Structure 1
Amino acid sequence: MTSTVPAPGSLPQALGSARATEIPTAQNSGSALQAVLLDMDGTLVDTEGFWWDVEVEVFARLGHALDDSWRHVVVGGPMTRSAGFLIEATGADIDLAELTVLLNQGFEERIADALPLMPGAARLLAELSEYAVPTALVSASHRRIIDRVLGSLGSHHFGLSVAGDEVRRTKPHPDPYLVAAAGLGVDPTRCAVVEDTATGVAAAEAAGCHVVAVPSVAPIAPAERRTVVSSLEAVDLAFLRGLMPTS
């Protein structure tokens, strides 16, 4: 069972709220790493392709074909941005609210049949839970989608989750990660974030987090406080602890 957790007073209430589950949130005393914040689509679950397929199908019913090059524009961003872009690019006669409903419905139908995990995702979540590392799920997807996915991932793995429709500004803004860190009671600069898109990476870095990028659709270059790996199979607790400065 989940409950809403307001952000602490030090964080502007305008950032929104997070959904919490009962899991230990004490800082891991053996490491400078205080928490791990995980993206969902394309990072833990192999669903970035699902979203694009649904967008293609919905716009086909509206009489429009999507250019495959647009996939890189809409991946990893908030629903309002991707849907708004596609409406403008195609000239489709539909408003943003109606399109958002159709896209969410189509995605829910897709994941009802199968929800493939990314390689290494189940092992990483199990390890973080075993060592009681405070962990949050931070996604640009809406709450209705996150709750469906949590049923498969296991909500017990996460201290809280932050949805794109629960913050005033979602990715690429830092708000979702600031909300997650505040909800767990940790310093964002002592958090490791795992992301698969440039949009998510930008959000995490703007929040001051250390980032592990696992590119799913478009390449992501290494940078300061950013490590790029080819798969979650390369990521474990020791790896994440190693991202933190020793001083």
Structure 2
Amino acid sequence: MTSTVPALGAPSARGSALQAVLLDMDGTLIDTEGFWWDAETAVFEALGHPLDEAWRDIVVGGPMARSAGFLIQATGADITLDELSTLLNDSFEARISRTLPLMPGAKRLLAELLDHGVPTALVSASHRRIMDRVLDSLGAHHFGLTVAGDEVERTKPHPDPYLVAAAGLGADPARCVVVEDTATGIAAAEAAGCRVVAVPSVTAIAPAHRRTVVSSLEEVDLAFLRRLMG
């Protein structure tokens, strides 16, 4: 699949209070945050550098460059950032080729948004090669737009990915609901001015202004999302 990232500055949509739903991928729609840690652990073991379990919370949900850079510095591994990124993507892709479990409620929510014609985007810090592999299982038809982490100048926690997604759907960020699972993604969404539904996957997240925390996507449907905009 080719990139569908538009330029910033598209006109805002008019009409419904809820103009678009923007969804994170790893840990939000697919149960893969553990896969990334497994991939990182396997790669560094092969390099002769076992990882400390305490580092897991530091790297989870972050962009590839930040996570890989931290692990190189923490372990002292003799490898470049580009080399490590390739190895991590290879290891992760091998894992999702064997199994790709969806989070509870994800399939139902995506189908409901599609059935009601709600503009929807998939927004991830993962690279395009990983996103396209995941889309084979999620169904690319569920999304009007997809934004990968290697297609924006600054990925999460910067607001750029969500600003790009909102612009591409012709939506006002303030009238978009973002569904995220990590503090990094939530920081990006809130910096973009979006309303957030947090579904924590690894670490706890507290409710805040314009942020609603739920335990599972099974609690989220279109009526719920529309009420948040009320």
Alpha-carbon distance in structure 2 between the residues aligned to 1:74 and 1:176: 19
Find out whether 1:206 has 2:191 as its counterpart: yes
Identical residues among aligned pairs (%)? 79
User: Could you report, residue by residue, the CA deviation over 1:139-193 in whole angstroms, capped at 9, with x for unpaired residues?
Assistant: 0000000000001000000001000000010000000000000000100000000
Within 5 A, what are the aligned runs for 1:135-214? 135-214=120-199
- Who is 1:6 aligned against? 6
1:5 is displaced (CA, Å) by 4.5
1:4 is displaced (CA, Å) by 3.6
User: Could you report, residue by residue, the CA deviation over 1:28-59 in whole angstroms, capped at 9, with x for unpaired residues?
Assistant: x4x40000000000000000000000000000
Question: Letter of the aligned partner of 2:6 in structure 1?
Answer: P
Distance 1:70 1:236, change over 3 A: same
Alpha-carbon distance in structure 1 between the residues aligned to 2:157 and 2:5: 22
1:7 is displaced (CA, Å) by 1.4
- Who is 2:67 aligned against? 82
Alpha-carbon distance in structure 2 between the residues aligned to 1:165 and 1:179: 13
Within 5 A, what are the aligned runs for 1:1-247? 2=2, 4-9=4-9, 29=15, 31-245=16-230
TM-score, reference length from structure 2: 0.96
Distance 1:56 1:146, change over 3 A: same
1:8 is displaced (CA, Å) by 4.4
RMSD of equivalent CA atoms: 1.6
Alpha-carbon distance in structure 2 between the residues aligned to 1:32 and 1:240: 10
Alpha-carbon distance in structure 2 between the residues aligned to 1:56 and 1:129: 37
- Aligned structure 1 segments of 4 or more residues deviating by more than 2 angstroms: 1-6, 8-11
Runs of at least 5 residues in structure 1 that lack an aligned partner in the other structure = 12-25
Distance 1:123 1:4, change over 3 A: closer
Give the 3-state SS of the residue equivalent to 2:18 in structure 1. Answer: coil
Give the 3-state SS of the residue equivalent to 1:6 in structure 2. Answer: coil
User: Could you report, residue by residue, the CA deviation over 1:216-236 in whole angstroms, capped at 9, with x for unpaired residues?
Assistant: 000000000000000000000
Alpha-carbon distance in structure 1 between the residues aligned to 2:209 and 2:131: 30
Runs of at least 5 residues in structure 2 that lack an aligned partner in the other structure = none
1:241 is displaced (CA, Å) by 0.4
Question: Letter of the aligned partner of 1:6 in structure 2?
Answer: P
